[in-house]
């Protein structure tokens, strides 16, 4: 199979050191042959090492390091492809040849797993290993928030809803919970969790957020959300703060309609933006956009399609440098108002890096067609595509998993290993209510 997945693009003086949760990678940028890549790993240790909030690797005290050559796919540096900006869903417990051919042919950046893909821990590990054997470097994501939004089967730990963290208020428990989720996900071959919810629960009539939110206090959401992210990402799984710039004050579900938040800019700054600002200052790997309209920020466009919100506010004002991913483009809040082709192009123009298309292959094909057409016409510049592809490749380099690391027996052992932690969290929350 032709190598297809590149390392992060070159940096200053032609060489860039990429911080990773397990490795330091040197690569030559620009023209010419790639510099040989070596990955430093502590002897006897697995691939995932804790990571500081600044992105550097924490080396265990007294550990001896050995050099391990990188896979041939990392050495390849293909031209940026539109498919690298797409994360797709699919049906079934196995990766059939049609899916694998699509992933490789289109250089698809990632897949997202749902309940329809999960039977048990060993099966998920076999599935993710097959995906990674066909498409090395693939990002594999999942919505594992805890509480009512979970995709894993019953043999995995049933993690608590985020509002329990808010009731307890412990940074240490939030960090520990993030690490526990990462351990079970990573053993099953998953390296991107679309969590935590950083929305402030400010509207009791909200039909979609509720207990998914940590708290109605912006400062508590910010503090515990950052701690959760630190634990998750130290465990080798990318976090994703959602739903920017805040879904907590809506009264409609964006899966079925377009919500509007009529709060003033000042109120949004004081409430919704506080957790996202804190996470952007930290190590947060990615942010998911909200299919919600905020007239005080953009009178016409939803956040997903708004340069004022994703470009001016998120990138410039908050200083976020990670990956920006849309919520599912098949949700009716946006799908009822524009074609998949136009949604794809408009979201990139707004500042998104990755698009989610969670079910329909037809929609996925149309998203790719829209991007190709926009590149050919010049509506999207090649440099704009390259900038987003570079961020996606950096995300892969920061949270890598190789197919050979995934063991169904280990996944089965790790699944459910965090139940004692969950019991401790639930007992502490109960004591606080007495």
Residues 322 and 409 in one domain: yes
Active site residue 317: no
Any domain includes 192: yes
Residues 59 and 93 in one domain: no
Average pLDDT of the segment spanning 45-51: 40
Average pLDDT of the segment spanning 153-177: 95
Residues 83 and 62 in one domain: no
Q: Which of 120, 143, 199, 327 is catalytic?
A: 327
- The CATH number of the domain holding residue 403 is 3.20.20.300
Specify whether the CB–CB gap between 344 and 388 falls below 8 A: no
Please, what is the average pLDDT of the chain? 84
Any domain includes 1: no
Residues 154 and 17 in one domain: no
Q: Spell out the residues 6+ positions from residue 176 whose beta carbon is closer than 8 angstroms to its own.
A: 231, 421
Residues 66 and 117 in one domain: no
Residues 174 and 315 in one domain: yes
According to the model, what pLDDT value does residue 253 have? 65
Residues 36 and 144 in one domain: no
| Cα within 13 Å of Cα(143), Cβ side | 19
Cα 98 from chain centroid (whole Å): 25
Question: Tens digit of pLDDT for each residue in 233-279?
Answer: 999 999 999 999 988 877 666 786 788 999 999 999 999 999 999 99
Specify whether the CB–CB gap between 243 and 292 falls below 8 A: yes
Residues 156 and 279 in one domain: yes
Residues 157 and 27 in one domain: no
Any domain includes 6: no
According to the model, what pLDDT value does residue 368 have? 98
Q: State the total domains in the chain.
A: 2
pLDDT band at 64 (very low <50, low <70, confident <90, very high): very low
Residues 25 and 118 in one domain: no
Average pLDDT of the segment spanning 115-123: 97
Distance CA 150, CA 170 (A): 22
Distance CA 144, CA 159 (A): 9
Residue 51: asked if its preceding bond is cis (omega within 30°), the reply is no
Residues 161 and 22 in one domain: no
Residue 147 has pLDDT above 70, yes or no: yes
Q: Which domain holds residue 38?
A: 12-74
Whole-prediction pTM: 0.82
């Amino acid at each position: 199979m032709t190598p297809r997945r590149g390392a992060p693009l070159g940096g200053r003086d032609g060489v860039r050191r990429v911080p990773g949760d397990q490795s330091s990678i040197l690569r030559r940028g620009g023209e010419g042959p790639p510099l040989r890549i070596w990955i430093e790993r502590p002897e006897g240790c697995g691939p995932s090492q804790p990571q500081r909030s600044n992105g550097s690797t924490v080396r265990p005290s007294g550990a001896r390091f050995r050099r391990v050559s990188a896979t041939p796919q990392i050495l390849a540096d293909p031209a940026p492809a539109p498919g690298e900006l797409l994360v797709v869903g699919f049906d079934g417990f196995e990766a059939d040849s049609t899916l694998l051919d699509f992933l490789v042919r289109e250089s698809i950046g990632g897949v997202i797993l749902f309940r329809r893909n999960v039977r048990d821990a060993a099966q998920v590990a076999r599935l993710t290993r097959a995906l990674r054997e066909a498409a090395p470097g693939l990002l594999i994501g999942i919505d594992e928030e805890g509480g009512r939004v979970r995709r894993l089967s019953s043999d995995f730990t049933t993690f608590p809803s985020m509002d329990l963290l808010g009731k307890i208020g412990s940074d240490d428990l939030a960090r520990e919970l993030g690490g526990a989720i990462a351990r079970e996900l990573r053993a099953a071959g998953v390296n991107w969790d679309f969590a935590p919810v950083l929305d402030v629960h400010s509207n009791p009539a909200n039909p979609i957020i509720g207990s998914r939110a940590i708290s109605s206090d912006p400062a508590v959401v910010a503090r515990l959300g950052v701690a959760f992210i630190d634990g998750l990402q130290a465990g080798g799984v990318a976090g994703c703060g959602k739903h920017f710039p805040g879904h907590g004050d809506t009264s409609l579900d964006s899966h079925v309609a377009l919500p509007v938040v009529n709060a003033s800019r000042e109120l949004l700054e004081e409430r919704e933006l506080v957790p996202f600002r804190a996470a952007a200052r930290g190590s947060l790997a990615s942010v998911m956009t909200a299919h919600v309209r905020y007239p005080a920020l953009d009178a016409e466009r939803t956040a997903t399609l708004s340069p004022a919100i994703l470009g001016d506010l998120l990138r410039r004002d908050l200083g976020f440098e990670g990956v920006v991913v849309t919520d599912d483009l098949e949700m009716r809040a946006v799908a009822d108002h524009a074609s998949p082709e136009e949604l794809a192009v408009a979201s990139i123009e707004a500042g998104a890096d990755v698009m989610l298309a969670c079910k329909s292959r037809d929609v996925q094909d149309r998203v790719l067609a829209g991007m190709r057409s926009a590149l050919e016409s010049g509506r999207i510049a090649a440099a704009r595509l390259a900038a987003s592809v570079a961020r996606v490749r950096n995300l892969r380099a920061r949270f890598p998993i190789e197919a050979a690391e995934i063991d169904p027996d280990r996944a089965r052992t790790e699944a459910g290993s965090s139940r004692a932690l969950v019991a401790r969290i639930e007992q502490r929350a109960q004591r606080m209510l007495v």
